[in-house]
Every structure is written in C-alpha cells, then in structure tokens.
Amino acid sequence: MTGPLQNGAAHNREAAAFRMLLLQAKLMLCAGADDIAGYSAEFEMIVAAVSAMVGRLFAAENPEVMKFPALISRKSLERSRYVEGFPQLAGMVQCFCGDADAHRRMLGCIGEGEDWSGYLEPTNAALTPASCYPVYPLVASRGPVPAQGCLIDVSSYCFRHEPSIDPIRLQMFRQREYVFIGRPGQAVAFLDNWLERTFAALRGCGLEPESDLANDAFFGRFRGMMSTAQRAERLKTEILLPISHPEQRSACGSCNNHKTHFAAAFGIKLENGELAQTVCAGFGLERLALALIRRHGVTVREWPAPVRSALHLPG
C-alpha cells in the first residue's frame, strides 16, 4: 500500500508545517533523525483506537487474527517478487558475523568516521513491506483453501525505504489489513464490502473520505508500463483524506486485488486444484491517526463527542 507521489513544493511546505505542529503538540517525537519518528502516549491512544476500529469492520465474520513482527524471511520476500517491482523500497537485515580481528577493524572504521557497512553480512531476515506478506506462505502451507474462502485480520510494522520529513511518509509504520483468499467472485465481493463498511466507519469519525483508482510506486523505467496495467485492470483503489496538506488528499488506506499473483508465487490453491485469488484491504494506522488529528485537532479530549464515541476514546 503506497500513497500517491506528492513532491510539489507546496505539499512539502505543508508537510513541514504539519510535522512542526505534531512535534510542538508532543504527539510526534524526533528520534535522532528528521525522518525517524517516535510517538507519545496520546498519539498511541489514537493509533490503538483506529486499529480497534479497523478490527471491528469484519469482527462479525470472525476473521483469523494474526500479528507479525516487521520481519519476514528473505526467501518469502524473493518469492513474493517484491524485489522485482519495488527494489528501491525493499530492505533486508545485515549483521556483523566476523571474528575478533574484524570487530577491531570495524570499530576502527567507525572511529575514523568511515563507512563500516562492508563489515556486515546479509541474514535470512528481510523487512516486511506490507503486513499481508507473511500471510501467503502461511496459508499455502495449510493446503487447499476451503470453499467459503478464508478471511484474515493481520497487522505488523512495515518498512519502505523512502526517507522523508513528511509525517505521512514514514520508513517504518503500522498496517492493519484484511486478507481474503478464495474464488474470484468472493474476493471482489469482499473488496466491495470492505469499501462500503470503511466509508461508513470513517464518516462516523467525522471524516469525509474519497476513493480513487491508484497504482503502486513501481521501480524506474518499468513504472509507467506497470502502473498503466494496474490502473487498466482497476486493481488498486485508495482511500483519500486530507492529512499532511489541508487541501490535498493523501492515501490512508487501500484495497488491492492481486488476482493470482501471490497464489502463484506461494502455491495457494482451491479445493479444485486451481489457483486461489487473493485481495487485501487495510490502513496505514499512523496515517489514519494523522488524518483524524488534521480534521479534529491535536487535543483528543477536544474532539467532538460523537467522534470520540465512534472510536471508543475516553470522553
């Protein structure tokens, strides 16, 4: 799930001003670098509230709830083909695996202010690009998908290498998504249902969401071709709200039809042996929290009572 590119100078000015507002209100905490943020208890209360709201959307359908760390296996990342489409956003974990002599030389390197990354080696861990990614190999390992399909409510931290001071463009952020796996008609019906329930829930929070067709931030010279195909097939729809810029909308969530992409990558099959279809739909939790702050202000106790009630926030 990625938002539209918004590199305009006006947007950057508004993003910088919004960031300053969040820092002054002590909702966001500067964590040693302009593009790495922490959050206060008040902000975390909002994130917990929006996460719970997302969880209520399909609670009646009794989804299987899964939580994962920000790590997936490097093999899973490769099989998902993320690196083919988004190498500029991917990250993997490297660690020092050398001996005492190499340790001494590495410390010397750091002491001289030189690049010491050459002393690190790749591990089998990669950073999760979207919270749904650990679901596909797991579901594939369970055998054929039952006739009614399966619905999963999954959350994790995610990583994308796009450093920015814009509060909505974080390198590490939280997503909570629903993943539906089943037959094509079931998958599309789920997305329609998700959009309808999401709009109702956001309106209940005093927000005025819009949706639009979108494309992911594909890499380099393939971007145009891939984006055109993604839009022509109407595979991605974003939920748009004013966040960093008060008059320009940014994505705070999206729903995505992968068709058989992940099923083919991981071997997820239906009971008749055909490949299943997968869809995911969810939110960037910080973005949704920030959209609420943009709409209702930096002090939660001053938000309208119906909004606090809809989010189950203290009155």
Partner 1 sequence: MDGIRVALRQSSLRMAEYIGTEENLFDAGLSSFDLINLIMSLEEYYGIEFPQDAMRRENFETISKIHETLAALRGEAAAL
Residue closer to partner 1 (CB basis): 29 or 264: 264
Q: The tokens 């760390």 sit on which residue? A: 69
What sign does the dihedral 160-170-57-64 (CA atoms) show? positive
Q: The tokens 């002393």 sit on which residue? A: 119
Residue closer to partner 1 (CB basis): 88 or 228: 228
Residue closer to partner 1 (CB basis): 58 or 86: 86
Q: Which of 125, 141, 56 is nearest to 91 (CA)?
A: 125
CB of 81 to partner 1, least distance (A): 5
Residue closer to partner 1 (CB basis): 44 or 84: 84
CB of 222 to partner 1, least distance (A): 5
CB of 261 to partner 1, least distance (A): 6
Residue closer to partner 1 (CB basis): 64 or 84: 84
CB of 219 to partner 1, least distance (A): 9
Residues that bind partner 1 (CB under 8 A): 81, 84-85, 221-222, 224-226, 228-230, 260-261, 264
CB of 50 to partner 1, least distance (A): 32
CB of 264 to partner 1, least distance (A): 7
Residue closer to partner 1 (CB basis): 5 or 225: 225
Contact 206, 307 (CB under 8 A): yes
The continuous run of DSSP H or E covering 232 comes out as helix 223-232
Residue closer to partner 1 (CB basis): 81 or 161: 81
Q: Which of 200, 233, 222, 214 is nearest to 81 (CA)?
A: 222
**Interatomic CA distance for residues 7 and 280, integer angstroms:** 27
CB of 14 to partner 1, least distance (A): 32
Cα-only R_g, the chain: 21
Give the start-end residues of each E strand in the chain: 28-33, 36-39, 64-67, 71-73, 92-96, 120-127, 150-159, 172-182, 210-213, 236-242, 249-259, 277-284
DSSP state of 275: B
**Interatomic CA distance for residues 198 and 204, integer angstroms:** 10
Residue closer to partner 1 (CB basis): 84 or 212: 84
In the chain the first and final C-alpha atoms are separated, in Å, by 33
CB of 238 to partner 1, least distance (A): 19
